[in-house]
Amino acid sequence: MTKFLNPFQADWAGMHSGNCAFAVSACLLGIACRYDGRSNFCGPIAELLKKGAVLPVCPETFGGFPVPRLPCERKGDEVYRRDGYRVTDAFQKGVARALSLVLASHASIAILKSKSPSCGFGTIYDGSFTGHLCRGHGLFAEALIANGIPVMSEQVFIRICGKIFPEHCDSSR
């Protein structure tokens, strides 16, 4: 039988010589950095923060974007605001800063907000600002993958966590 490491009980600080284990989209930890000034608080992921195992990152605010701001979506290799203004350079600046922090922290895995033009993994908004989704990754997710850091969305984390550690992964929290 496979034995799973319980991320809620592990001594992450000891295992990682004081470095963090998870890089996490800051909005998932309750930090109000979304485009609309809100967060995407995710209780099971916030539980990890209690262990001191988390590095919160928001590539968009690291790129100089205010909170709140106009929504942005990725279309091909470019990122645009809803008003049509190209903001790819600011996104890339934020990605570079977030990536350098993640690499310096020696994070083992990234848990990122789904559908985001920065953090989306597997599925992102298609750039039409109509709510339609397409296959693809956000710029930050791509950078992490290119640097060998495994990425998963918060939805996948909750699904996996709920099967292995249901006492910590009630998504209604």
Query: What residue spans define the domains of the chain?
Result: 12-168
- pLDDT score of 70 more than 60: yes
- The residues with which 123 forms a beta bridge, in sequence order, are 135
Q: Please, what sign has the CA dihedral across residues 79, 80, 86, 91? A: negative
**Amino acid in position 173:** R
- In sequence order, the 6+-apart residues with CB closer than 8 A to the CB of 106 are 16, 19, 20
| Per-residue pLDDT, 166 | 61
Reading the block at residue 65, the tokens are 């974007």
- pLDDT score of 46 more than 70: yes
Average of per-residue pLDDT across 50-58: 83
Confidence of residue 47 (pLDDT cuts 50, 70, 90): confident
Average of per-residue pLDDT across 168-172: 52
How many residues does this entry show for the chain? Answer: 173
Q: Does residue 45 or residue 71 have the better pLDDT? A: 71
SS3 87: coil
3-state DSSP helix/strand/coil percent for the chain, to nearest 5? 35, 20, 45
